[in-house]
Amino acid sequence: MSVLLDVRDLAREYPVSTAGGVRRILHAVDGVSFSLERGRTLGIVGESGCGKSTTAKLALGLLPATRGQIDFEGQPVTALRDRAWRALRRRMQLVHQDPLSALDRRLPVGQQVVEPLVIHTLEDSAEAQRQKALALFDAVGLRADLFERYPHELSGGQRQRVLLARALVLEPALLVCDEPISALDVSVAAQVINLMQDLQARFGMAYLFISHDLKVVRQIADEVAVMYLGRIVEQGPPDALFHAPAHPYTEALVSAVPTPLRGTQGRIILKGDPPNPVDRPSGCAFHPRCPRAVARCREEVPVLRPVADGRLAACHLAAAAPAMAAA
Ligand code: SF4
Ligand code: MG
């Protein structure tokens, strides 16, 4: 497997003024590293404001990073300019959270799938562009007669399919999906997730899949990163994370997912809301809400390190991975 997207020590800071006129730094994303292989799915989960959408925008080069390195298909995203940048950008596409605002209300949806081909001057003729867009309509399960319709004439699920077709028409190697199903009701959302899995099997692109919904991420992702206050606090295969979370924050998120057996019983209710990232708590940033916190947690920042089952966790109490047997 080859690495498609490699992100190292990514950070994004914003200067802010507090009520007293004091200038402070908001650490929206703070030292995030991950890599994503071709054709695979990395899910990023966490509460709103944890930095997951900012991470997506940084990875796509839509927002300049304060620090860090992003390589896509072996090229540094941040260093490219103009034509090289446009060529690379075509290979990484964003799928929005809200299909209605992402689409142009005044244009038929078919035209909006053709548009990227026109912008990037792909295909030989207008007819070839139309045929390609129609093939994508078919691939995402939209009837050809919807091609001339306007966004408001389509259902939410159909609009999300249009957005997928529009992203896929450029044959990207990566789709960054920021809460792609959060505006849809449960049964439609499930259909879109199934469709996304089918499309990945067929076209082979990788997904960076951002969601606050751990259950959905578990279904679609090969690897999951849990973010809290701008940092990854746990990362690993979804089943391991679900069955034996190594970080108390992951444990709380997992406990909030109702199961048929226990319903919502056993849910860990965290104290308070996530702190303001301008006033990042000392030591482990999760300590004011952590049911397991000990004295050390207030002072020492836990680093993300290998723990059991091929996972990484940033918690002082997580047992280290067993040492590899000497060769
Ligand atoms: Fe909780 Fe301490 Fe682990 Fe942080 S380091 S998650 S406060 S136990
Ligand atoms: Mg968001």
- The answer as to whether 319 is a domain residue is no
Same-domain status, 81 and 212: yes
**Boundary residue ending a domain (152, 170, 188):** 170
Please enumerate in sequence order all residues whose Cβ is within 8 A of that of 190, keeping only pairs 6 or more positions apart, or say none: none
Return the pLDDT at 209: 96
Question: Domain boundary residue among 120, 152, 170?
Answer: 170
Q: Of 170, 192, 225, which one is at a domain's C-terminal end?
A: 170
Q: Are residues 157 and 206 in the same domain?
A: no
Statement to judge: residues 243 and 121 lie in one domain: no
pLDDT in tens, the chain (327 residues): 699 999 999 999 999 887 778 888 999 999 999 999 999 999 999 988 899 999 999 998 889 999 999 999 998 887 777 788 888 889 999 998 777 888 999 999 999 999 999 998 888 899 999 999 999 999 999 999 999 999 999 999 999 999 999 999 999 999 999 988 887 888 888 999 999 999 999 999 999 999 988 889 999 999 999 999 999 999 999 999 989 999 999 999 999 887 776 666 778 888 888 888 888 899 999 999 999 999 999 999 999 999 988 899 999 999 877 765 443
Both 177 and 306 in one domain: the answer is: yes
Q: Are residues 298 and 223 in the same domain?
A: yes
In terms of residue numbers, what domain contains 122?
102-170
Tell me, in angstroms, the distance from the centre of ligand 2 to residue 101's CA. Answer: 15
Same domain, 178 and 166: no
pLDDT at 324: 56
In a domain, 320, yes or no: no
The answer to whether the CB of 138 falls within 8 A of the CB of 165 is: no
Ligand 1 pocket residue status of 181, Cβ below 6 Å: no
pLDDT at 327: 39
**One domain for residues 68 and 163:** no
* Most ligand 1 atoms within 8 A of CB, residue of 233, 249, 287 to mutate: 287
Q: Which residues of 211-245 are buried (b: 16+ CB within 10 A; e: fewer)?
A: bbbbebbbbbbebbbbbbbbbbbbbbbbebbbeeb
State if residue 228 touches ligand 1 by the CB under 6 angstroms criterion: no
CA of 60 to the centre of ligand 2 (A): 15
In a domain, 78, yes or no: yes
Q: Is the CB–ligand 1 distance for residue 32 below 6 Å?
A: no
CA–centroid distance, 250 to ligand 1, in Å, is 11
Please indicate, yes or no, whether residues 195 and 298 belong to a single structural domain of this protein.
yes
Question: Cα–Cα distance between 156 and 100 in angstroms, integer?
Answer: 8
Does 214 lie in the same domain as 109?
no
Q: Count Cα neighbours of 191 within 13 Å in the Cβ-side half-sphere.
A: 12
Tally Cβ neighbours within 10 Å of residue 319: 10
Say yes or no: CB of residue 229 within 6 Å of ligand 1.
Answer: no
In this structure, the residue with its CA closest to atom 5 of ligand 1 is: 315
Alpha-carbon torsion, ordered 146, 151, 155, 158, to 10 deg: 60
What is the total count of domains within the chain? Answer: 2
- 224 touches 43 (CB < 8 A): yes
Same domain, 220 and 154: no
What sign has the CA pseudo-torsion 26, 231, 252, 194?
positive
Nearest CA to ligand 1 atom 8: 293
- Asked whether 245 lines ligand 1 (CB < 6 A), one says no
Residues with CB under 5 A from ligand 2 (ion): 53
325 is a domain residue? no
215 located within any domain: yes
Q: Which ligand is nearest to the CA of 50?
A: 2
Residue 103 CA from chain centroid, whole number: 21
pLDDT value at position 323? Answer: 64
Find out whether the beta carbon of 286 lies less than 6 Å from any atom of ligand 1. Answer: yes
Same domain, 201 and 301: yes
d(CA 21, CA 23): 6
Please state the ipTM of this predicted complex: 0.95
Q: Are residues 73 and 120 in the same domain?
A: no
